[in-house]
Amino acid sequence: MKTLDLRTRVAAAVAVTCIAVVAALALTLYTASEDLEETLVDQIVSEEMDFLIRHYRENPSILREPGPNVQYYAVRTSDELRRVPEPLRALGAGSHALGQGIDEQHVAVRIVDGTRFIVAYDVGPHEIRGQQFKQLMLFALATVMVVAAALGYWIAGLLTRQITELSARVAALDSGVPLEQAGQDPEVAALARALDRHQARIQQLIEREQEFTGNASHELRTPLTAIRTSCELLEGEHGLPDKARARIAAIAAAAERMTSQIEMLLFLARAQAVDARETVALADCVNAAVEPWRTELARKGLRFDNDVGPGATVSVNRQALNLVLANLLRNAVQYTEKGGIRVHWTAPTLTVADTGPGVPPEQRARLFERHYRGTTDADGFGLGLAIVKRACDHCHWRIAVTAPPGGGTAFLLTLA
């Protein structure tokens, strides 16, 4: 369910409050008008009855003329009773209400000196005015609903304007403009100050990390450069056995790969964009990444199949791809004791599958977490796959783990 934004919620609260207050006031007014109308009608009927009795005592032979909504009756004989409307004949002394709505009548009956006096008051005009008043109240309530909604949204905009502006500046923290501004409300200013302090602490941490990674890069490059230089000098020596030359070449290649991996790790540590792209041959990258593990593959008797076609190329960051492949292949060699490892390419996905013990489904969601290890049977710190995930995120690649039908583990690297 989508959550409403702050402005809409404030507008809704203001509108509901206004509508509730106006509705309560309208209901109170309507109820009071109904009660007042009943009281006035009863008073009118009582006064008309008193006037009828006084008039009859002064002129018994002349009955008072009926009005537009009131009728008078003085009953002494049965003949006079027959001239009274039938619904009024059987009424006893007191006040009575007959009919409903616009047909309602309020009737008063008194018996004085053997004469029955009847006053019948037609309440219909009052009921019509009451219905008109009710319709007016409903129209006013509907108008208030519309006005309250619009007014509430406008007021909410005023109340949340500073928060909205602060949110926009938070989204652009790299601009270097302080979040605290003159004219802010005290609550917004306090929040802006807290965010400014937090941003300053984060910036200090980033600067310290960048300084550390720069120093580490310099310190690590120095011995690696010495190793590569020594390898180049040794390769120039005459009379070295071929086996020694092969080992020197392997050392030089390992130093070169380590240099590339250090550069890539520094990019990742500094959270910089990895956008240096070039067209690379996938088969060559796979062969280069597995080269350090040839001895271990031979020792375990594992089969390695590079099923990537020689013509398969992709435009990627070579350092990032080498880093990901190196970690995936090292992970596969480390956990596979029999069978083999197979690398397959179906554009745009590169699959690294092994015949190892596999990964239970409940562990796959955490497999790329730092320091998480699904088993303690092998050495390591649980960082390889976390580095793979971070490199993929920086390059906008997707990495997933599945279980092949024949068992083992398959990592699917989508380079798109």
For the chain, the first-to-last Cα distance in angstroms comes to 31
Residues 6+ apart with CB under 8 A from 305: 340, 341, 342, 343
Mean pLDDT throughout 243-255?
82
pTM over 0.85: no
Give the rounded percent of residues in the chain with a pLDDT score beyond 70.
83
Domain extents for the chain? 6-145, 175-272, 275-414
Has residue 344 got a pLDDT over 90?
yes
- C-alpha to C-alpha distance for 108 and 90, rounded to whole angstroms: 12
Predicted local confidence at residue 148, as pLDDT: 84
Q: What's the CATH fold of domain 175-272? A: Helix Hairpins (1.10.287)
Question: Do strands 115-122 and 313-316 pair parallel, antiparallel, or not at all (unpaired)?
Answer: unpaired
pLDDT per position as a tens digit, 63-103: 767 777 888 888 888 888 888 888 888 888 888 888 887 78
- Cis peptide preceding 178, ω within 30 of 0: no
Q: Which CATH number fits domain 275-414: 3.40.50.620, 3.30.565.10, 3.40.190.150, 2.60.40.420?
A: 3.30.565.10
C-beta of residue 95 within 8 angstroms of C-beta of residue 108: yes
Name the 3-class secondary structure at 372.
coil
pLDDT confidence band for 351 (50 / 70 / 90): very high
388 closest CA partner among 320, 340, 305, 334: 320
